[in-house]
Each structure stands twice: as C-alpha cells, then as structure tokens.
Amino acid sequence: MKVMLWHGGGGLDAYLDTDNFIELSNAVIRAKFKNNPFISSINKLFPNFSVEQLRVYSYYSGLGQFWRVMADIFLELSDLYELGEINSIPQVIEHIKSGLVANATNPVTYSVKINGKAYDLLPSAAGLTFLSDLAIPYVEAIFFRGTPFQGTVSYNAQAYQIPADQARFEYGALYADPLPIGGAGIPPTLLMQDMSHYIPNYLHDLYRRTRRREEDDLLVQICITFQKSMFCVTSAAIIGLMPYASETEDPIEQRANHAHLEVWVSRLITSQLLDVNLRD
C-alpha cells in the first residue's frame, strides 16, 4: 500500500488530491471528532493531518477491492488446474486476462458509517474503475517500480545507486533476485514464510522431487514460483490493454498492437524474465 501511495499513478491517486476528496474528508473528520477537542485542535493546527490518514484508508479500501477480484480469479484458476482444464502458461494468462477484462469497469467506491450515517470518500460519481484506476497502477508500482530493500543497495545519495527519478525505479517484483529471500531485512521473506504454510501438496512435492536441496531453500523456491506467477499476471494485463484484438489481420491495428507491446516489453529487458524461463 505504501509503495502505491508513494509512486502514485492512476485515477485513484489523482482523485485523492482533488478538492472534492478534501471536502468529503473534512465532512468525515467533523462528524467523527466533533466531540473530541484534542483531535479537533490537531486538525486546526495541521489541517492536512487527518486528510492524509483518510487517503491511506482509501488506498487500503481500494487494494481490498483489487484483491477481492484477484482472489476470485486465482481461486478459480486453482480449481480449473486441479480439474485438468488449465495446464499451460498461455491458458493461465488467458484466464487471468479474461478475469481482468470482465471486471475492468467494476466501480471503486468507499464510504464510512459514523453514528449510523454513511459518508462517501470514494463516491461512484468519481468514476473510478477496477482496471485503469487500481490494477494498472498496482502493476506499475508493485511489479515494475517497487522500492529498494535496505541493505541491498546504498541509500547514500552520493553513491548514486538509486535513481533520482521514480519513473526509473526497477525494484519491483519482476526485477527482484529471489536468492536473498530468507536473509535479514528482506521484506518478501515474511510473505514467502506465510505462503509456505498454504502451498498445495502437489507443489510441495514438486519442490522435493526436483530440488537437490529439497526444503533447505524452500522460501527461495516459493519466491521463484511467485515471481513466475507475477509475470503471468503482468502478461495478462499487457495483453488485455492492447488497443486491438491480438488476432487482428489489419496491418494498421497490428502496428498499433506492436507499438503497445514494444513499450512494455522494453521495460522487461532488465527484469528476471530470462532467468525465470531458464530455471527448472
């Protein structure tokens, strides 16, 4: 959430800086703290303090709505795999793409109840939707840009190891080296540790049968699998955003599709794409 809040992008981020959102936020703040002189005083001294907290809550709500959709897509994918209806990467990508497209125009809204009355923070009138305002900014911020892990690069500005321009960040999930997983200070370690408790038996057996180290590097293997799945999600999003159908025969439409793909694929040159395809 903090990575998305920092990098911004998309309609949700733009809306959170509008006068309309600030007006709605102030209405919530007045209703919530009208009998709290301490917080009311804080708001008078620092008028943006509580508004910024509501921006954070709005992002939490947006991400919750994003993962509600993605969870359904992934759970259905798991069921179809176990039924034998999906057994190849192209089928995985097509399934995810279909799910993204089917939910593309889902409205993103958020309201809170105070003393039985609902107050909008992300009203339907804002016109926020799942794909363009949540999914694409998520892919951009989490999969592509990300943030550098402390201890892996120097935060010293004089070392010039971190770009000054956020748009040049390449620290997202698609660029991360899985090998440091398990080391101190590497945030995905906790995620992989949690995932280790829920991986299906067939995947656990695969790790045991195909890896010489068996479970000694289990977290690294889970991270590699996770990274491969994120490439599938990214591919589905990129294909889903193509201006024309991928099977079009029109030369003009084909050129437009190629131009679209070229922009995205050029950003993957320095990612782990080649490495994940070489790993067994």
Give the H/E segment covering residue 118: strand 117-122
Q: End of a domain among 82, 110, 132?
A: 132
HSE (CB half, 13 Å, CA atoms) of 137? 24
Query: Quick one: pLDDT at residue 68?
Result: 95
* Calpha distance 215→224 (Å, rounded): 14
* Calpha distance 141→237 (Å, rounded): 14
Query: Quick one: pLDDT at residue 159?
Result: 84
User: Do the Cβ atoms of 218 and 248 come closer than 8 Å?
Assistant: no
In terms of domains, do 158 and 262 share one?
yes
List per-block mean pLDDT (blocks of 10 residues) for the chain, which spans 280 residues: 83 94 95 90 89 94 94 95 93 95 95 94 95 91 87 82 86 86 76 88 84 75 90 92 91 95 91 78
Domain that holds residue 75: 2-132
Residue for token digits 């509580």?
A: 50
In terms of domains, do 187 and 260 share one?
yes
Query: Quick one: pLDDT at residue 119?
Result: 96
Structure tokens at 166: 């956020």
Q: End of a domain among 101, 132, 163?
A: 132
Q: End of a domain among 106, 132, 158?
A: 132
CA angle 135, 260, 234 (to 5 degrees): 35
Query: Quick one: pLDDT at residue 126?
Result: 94
Q: How far is CA 171 from CA 14, 67, 162, 248, in A?
A: 23, 22, 10, 35
Q: 0.85 exceeded by the pTM?
A: yes
Identity of the residue numbered 170: E
DSSP state for residue 18 in the 8-state scheme: S
pLDDT digits (tens, 9 = 90+) for 21-69: 999 999 999 999 988 989 888 888 998 899 999 999 999 999 999 999 9
